[in-house]
Structure 1
Amino acid sequence: MLIIAIKIVYVMLSLSLLMAFIRLSRGPSLPDRVVSLELIASIVVAFVGVHAIDSGVSSLLDVAIVLALTSFLAAVGFARFLERGGPR
């Protein structure tokens, strides 16, 4: 039963990654693209977490934490960039 649930989660994460990538490529404005890029980073963290559960390798959770912290710092950097006027 757990194997089926993990496969369903992989499919759902893949679909959400595809939709976020579409928003990244077609986003009408820079803030839309920044939000979709942050969403993609969160989905990648979820992929790593699910893979850690699937494979039983607990050190992958450390990788997920580092990815989450890095994406948070990138979000702060993008927000400051957009606050100061974005590309001129």
Structure 2
Amino acid sequence: MTILDHAYTAAFVMLGLAVLFTLYRLVRGPSVLDRIVCLNALSVLLVSFIAVEVALRGDTAYIGLMVAIALLGFVGTITATRFAERRAHDRD
């Protein structure tokens, strides 16, 4: 194994740990906004997983998928935040 293979393995392990911590926070989050941030973080981690896989294989076919997931994550976060804000405003 080369040093680059060790770097890819380390990146996958660290991303996997980040996903586990984020899922824990998603389940245990005290508020809806914490959960929204966790879902955004999960979309970023998914894009990161794909980016490391693209670098590992040297195949750029998944670049479009990465952009689509990033955009969906962003739009979903903005939409959920606006919904949560309106819901909190209606309670007042």
Q: What band does the TM-score fall into relative to the shorter chain?
A: over 0.9
Return 5+ residue gaps in structure 2 as ranges: none
Q: What is the match of residue 79 of structure 1? A: 81
CA distance in 1, matches of 2:19, 2:63: 20
Alignment of 1:12-51 (within 5 A): 12-51=14-53
Larger Rg over CA atoms = 2
Q: What is the match of residue 66 of structure 1? A: 68
Return 5+ residue gaps in structure 1 as ranges: none
Q: Which has the higher contact order (CA 8 A, sep 6+)?
A: 2
CA distance in 2, matches of 1:3, 1:60: 20
Aligned sequence identity (%)? 33
What is the number of equivalent residue pairs in this alignment? 88
User: Once superposed, what is the RMSD of the aligned Cα atoms?
Assistant: 1.5
- The alpha carbon displacement at 1:82 in A equals 1.4
- The alpha carbon displacement at 1:61 in A equals 1.5
What do the CA deviations read for 1:18-62 (whole angstroms, capped 9, x no partner)?
A: 000000011111111111111011100100111111111101111
